[in-house]
Homo-oligomer: A and B are copies of this chain.
Amino acid sequence: MKKASQDISLPRRSFLKKAGVGLAAGAGIAAGMGIAAPKVHAQPTLRWRLVSSFPKSLDTLIGPSEAFAKIVGAMSGGKFTITVHPAGEIVPAFGVLDAAQNGTVECAHTAPYYFFGKDDTFALGTAIPFGLNSRQMQSWLFAGNGLTLFREFYKSYNIINFPMGNTGAQMGGWYRKEIKSLADMKGLKMRTAGIAGKVQERLGAVTVSTPGGEVYTALEKGTIDAAEFVGPYDDLKLGLYKVAPHYYYPGWWEGSAQTDLYVNIKAYEALPAEYKAMIEAAATRSQVLMHAQYDARNPIALKQLVAAGAKLHRFPKDVMNAAFKESNALYAEISAKNPRWKKIYDDYIKFRAEQNMWFRFAEAGFDDFMQAQKL
């Protein structure tokens, strides 16, 4: 019966072998060898490895990988198995791009902006200061040009990307002392990175890269003055409120933070169409689950943080204004020298302008009224 072999042609199988993909002796090959089973749709048995940039301890960040693997497994009846490896298990947190690019593993879950050192363009895939909020980012990716543009960009990295989770708007981090005006940013030793760090430096801050495990002690000792992480739910676990109680909002450099599934493009192309569709749908469902979990858990964690002594402050207006101005100046500089950035950024800010206009009306009109009520 030849039809059953249609999804596992020989060249594909040989690629799968080369790429280290386990094609179980039973199912796939048996079907490929033409055992009689008229019209039975035989899918190959596959085992993929997914490396995450996130540790097991951050459940909302490792969560999308686990959900993704579980959904693909359920839809394929256990034939397409994806094992999830937290940061450090196969490769370090920031080694996941290389691993997916080189085919060491088939896929990775990460925040693209970790790789801005390779190319500033990566930052646009997660967050840039004063960028899109999570609804707008999702709309740009799923109904605007965002995903098309990024897939073009990622081709040179042998990767196809799938949006897979967003944190929503983040907080602006933990500070040992209050920031009362822009003047207080001068000389502030802040643990931050990426484009946000570049903007903070333009405001006079000194950016420091402290390893994750040393942030608490560095703040306690005063080696650093401030550190930012994500939002209440993740921040609560770090306990930074004990040593740097001033908790600022909004995280103007992360109005939302998008994370992606990176799939090695050859591994992807070798998949039968059914598995490709499963990857896309499972990634999107994981996108929703991660965002919903953050939204559900952040309010409760924020209350706990405040009860434990965290002091909430809004960033002073002059800090926000200066940061906005410096961000735009920085973007102009990057646009002038990086055509890959410029191509995506130009589309991104056009979309941002339209979204921002629209959100002023029905969305903000509704939210503003609700936020003024005692509920």
Q: Are B373 and A138 in contact (CB under 8 A)?
A: no
**Given A40-B4, A40-B42, A277-B75, do A363 and B26 touch, yes or no (CB 8 Å)?**
no
Q: Are A299 and B251 in contact (CB under 8 A)?
A: no
Closest CB-CB distance, A174 to chain B, in whole Å?
A: 14
Q: Which chain B residues border A336 with CB–CB below 8 Å?
A: none
A57: Cβ under 8 A from any B Cβ? no
Residue of B nearest to A276 (CB): B74
Chain A residues close to B by CB (< 8 Å): 4, 26-27, 30-31, 35-43, 71, 74-77, 79, 130, 133-136, 138-144, 168-172, 231-232, 249-252, 255, 272-274, 276-278, 280-282, 284-285, 287-289, 291-293, 295-300, 302-303, 312, 314-315, 320, 324, 349, 351-371, 373, 375
Residue of B nearest to A373 (CB): B324
Give CA–CA (A362, B302) in the complex, Å.
11
Q: Are B39 and A36 in contact (CB under 8 A)?
A: no
Q: Are B171 and A362 in contact (CB under 8 A)?
A: yes
Q: Which chain B residues border A361 with CB–CB below 8 Å?
A: 171, 249-250, 302, 312
Closest CB-CB distance, A49 to chain B, in whole Å?
A: 21
Cβ-defined partner of A349 (8 Å) among B281, B312, B375: B375
Closest CB-CB distance, A276 to chain B, in whole Å?
A: 8
Give CA–CA (A362, B256) in the complex, Å.
10
Give CA–CA (A197, B375) in the complex, Å.
23
Cβ-defined partner of A291 (8 Å) among B71, B138, B280, B371: B138
Residue of B nearest to A323 (CB): B369
Q: Are B41 and A30 in contact (CB under 8 A)?
A: no
Q: Are A74 and B277 in contact (CB under 8 A)?
A: yes
Q: Are B278 and A75 in contact (CB under 8 A)?
A: yes
Q: Are A295 and B139 in contact (CB under 8 A)?
A: yes
Q: Which chain B residues border A272 with CB–CB below 8 Å?
A: 77
Closest CB-CB distance, A1 to chain B, in whole Å?
A: 8
Q: Are B75 and A144 in contact (CB under 8 A)?
A: no
**Given A36-B35, A354-B299, A356-B371, do A288 and B142 touch, yes or no (CB 8 Å)?**
yes
Give CA–CA (A353, B130) in the complex, Å.
27
Cβ-defined partner of A76 (8 Å) among B142, B274, B289, B375: B274
Give CA–CA (A74, B272) in the complex, Å.
10
Give CA–CA (A356, B14) in the complex, Å.
55
Q: Which chain B residues border A138 with CB–CB below 8 Å?
A: 288, 291-292, 295
Q: Are B251 and A366 in contact (CB under 8 A)?
A: yes
